[in-house]
Structure 1
C-alpha cells in the first residue's frame, strides 16, 4: 500500500501533469501527498544554505503548488469502495493531506535522497513530441535509477485516458516488483492487467545452435508464470499474458499505447560510484508516451 506519494514540482506548466497524476492517485488511494521543490545549487562556489530570498521564493512556489493540488483534489474522482470491484462502486474520500518540503542542491540527487521518505516518487518528463535534442529527458532517467522507492514518470501534457495496465516482464527478479505494483493498480482501477514479455525468438548470436522455438517457449513460460503470480496476488483481476515479437524497449512503448500506465522493473547497473538504470527501462523512459512506473522494493537503493 502506498502511504506517501512525493512529487517533484518546479512551478512550470509542463510539470503540472505530474502534479495532477500524483494528486489524483493520492485521493484515490487515501495517501498523503508531499510536494518537493529543489533550489538548485550552482556547480561552482556556493554557500551551504540558500539565501533568504531563495527560501522565500521556494516557499511561495510551494504554496502555489499546494493550492493547485487541493484544487485538483476537489474535482478528482471519488475513491473506490472495494479495490477489486467495479469503478462504479465508490465512497467519498477523506480530505487530502498535502505537505511541502524544499531542498538545496542538485535536482536529481536531492530528489533521490528525499525518496527515502516516500513510497512513490513522481516526476515529470518531456514527451516525444516536445523533447529537445540532447539530454532533455535525462533527469527522469537519473532519478529513476537512484531513487530509494518506485518512480512514476509522467509525460508533459498527460491526460487521464486509456484502459488497463501493462506490466513488462523478462523472467528476472526485478519483474516481481513490477507485476505486484501493476496488479495493485489494475485492482484499484477494476481494469485488466496485460502482462507482456517482449523480445525476438531468433537470437543472431545463437543462430544454428539453439532452435528458435525453444527461445519462444522460454518467453511464453516467463509471461505465463508472471501472469499466474498476478492472479494469485490479486485473484479478482483480469490478467492477460502476451508474448510480443519486437525489440524490448520499442515493444513495451507500443504495448503501452491505449493503456493508463506501463510498469517495468529495473536492473540497476552498479559501478564504483554510480548506479545506472537498465538499458530497456532507460530507453522506455526516453520515449515516454504514457505514465511509466519503474518499480522497486522500497529502500532498495542505499
Structure 2
C-alpha cells in the first residue's frame, strides 16, 4: 500500500486548512489520506473540550471531529481514500510515530485555537522537530493556500545535507507544474566588518563558493530537466531573510531539518524556527536522512 498523507486535526480553523491542503496533496499524488485526532489535543494546546472530564463525552467529541474531517475530505476530492484514526496518546508523539510510514505529515500553522499572538502551535513545532517524514506546516493567506503563484522555493545550505529537501521540492514542483526557486544565502565576513578595507577578492571568492555549493546541491534536478524550470538564486545576506523573502511569492517553502539535541529533547535550528513562525506560505520541513 502506498504511504499515506497524514493530517492532524483538532476541529480548529487552522487544522481544517491543513486538512484541505493534505486532501489536495493526496489527490495529486494518488495517495490515501489518514485523518488523525487525539483526545489529548485540547490539553496539549490549551483549548478544546474543557467543559468536562467525562471520557465518553471526549470520545464523542473526537469521533465527531474525525468523522466531519473525513466527510470534508470526501467532498473536496471524492477519489481520495480518506479514513480516520482517533487516539488518546500525546498528539505530537502519535504523529511523530506515524511519520515513519508516511508520505508526509500535515499540520496547521497556528496554535492555541488560531490566536494571532501564537504563530505556531506546540504540536506542529514538536512534530516538525522529530518526524521522520517531511512535515508540512500549513500557514499563509488565501493566495498562498490556493497555490496562486505557481512557484515553490527550496532553501539550500550544505549540498551534502540538501539532497532530500531538493528531491522533495522537485517532486512537488513537477506534480504542481510549478517553477522551483533554489535559494542559497552567503555572507562575506570581511564586508560585514565595520572597518574593513575593500576586500573585493574576498567577496568574489565567497560568491563563487556559494554558486558552486548551489550547483552541487541541484544535481538531482538533472532528472527533471525540461520538465521543471529550476532557477538558482545566490543571495548575499542572512539565510533567514532570504527564505522569508522567497516565501512571499511562493506556494510552498521547502527547508531541510536542522535538528539538534538539547536538555529539552530534539530542537530545530534558528532558521527553521524563523520560517515556521514567520513565513508567508506553507513550509515543508524535510529530514536530512
1:292 corresponds to which residue?
283
Q: TM-score, normalised on structure 1?
A: 0.80
Distance in 2 (CA, whole Å) between partners of 1:273 and 1:142 is 11
Q: Which runs of 5+ in 2 are unaligned?
A: 45-53
How big is the alpha-carbon RMSD for the aligned residues of Structure 1 and Structure 2? 2.8
* Aligned counterpart in structure 1 of residue 267 of structure 2, from 265, 276, 286: 276
Deviating beyond 6 angstroms after TM superposition, the runs of 4 or more aligned structure 1 residues are 207-210
- 1:70 equivalent to 2:70? Answer no
Is residue 135–residue 285 contact of structure 2 (8 Å, CA) maintained in 1? yes
- 1:123 equivalent to 2:114? Answer no
1:80 corresponds to which residue?
none
* Aligned counterpart in structure 1 of residue 224 of structure 2, from 226, 231, 234: 234
Residue-by-residue CA offset, 1:70-102 (whole Å, 9 max, x unaligned): 11114xxxxxxxxxxxxxxxxxxxx21001112
Q: Which runs of 5+ in 1 are unaligned?
A: 44-49, 75-94
Shift of the alpha carbon at 1:156?
A: 5.8
State how 1:207-226 maps to structure 2 within 5 Å.
211-226=202-217
Distance in 2 (CA, whole Å) between partners of 1:17 and 1:197 is 30
1:55 corresponds to which residue?
59
Distance in 1 (CA, whole Å) between partners of 2:175 and 2:118 is 37
- 1:29 equivalent to 2:29? Answer yes
Distance in 2 (CA, whole Å) between partners of 1:31 and 1:265 is 23
Is residue 7–residue 35 contact of structure 1 (8 Å, CA) maintained in 2? yes
Cα distance change, pair 157–194 in 1 and its aligned pair in 2 (3 A):
closer
2:81 corresponds to which residue?
97
Distance in 1 (CA, whole Å) between partners of 2:99 and 2:271 is 22
Is residue 167–residue 193 contact of structure 1 (8 Å, CA) maintained in 2? yes
Which secondary structure does the structure 2 equivalent of 1:105 belong to? coil
Distance in 1 (CA, whole Å) between partners of 2:120 and 2:230 is 35
Q: TM-score, normalised on structure 2?
A: 0.83
Shift of the alpha carbon at 1:273?
A: 6.0
Cα distance change, pair 152–171 in 1 and its aligned pair in 2 (3 A):
same
Cα distance change, pair 115–246 in 1 and its aligned pair in 2 (3 A):
same
Shift of the alpha carbon at 1:149?
A: 1.0
Shift of the alpha carbon at 1:255?
A: 0.9
Distance in 2 (CA, whole Å) between partners of 1:12 and 1:192 is 32
Distance in 1 (CA, whole Å) between partners of 2:172 and 2:98 is 24
- 1:186 equivalent to 2:173? Answer yes
Q: Say which structure is richer in helix.
A: 2
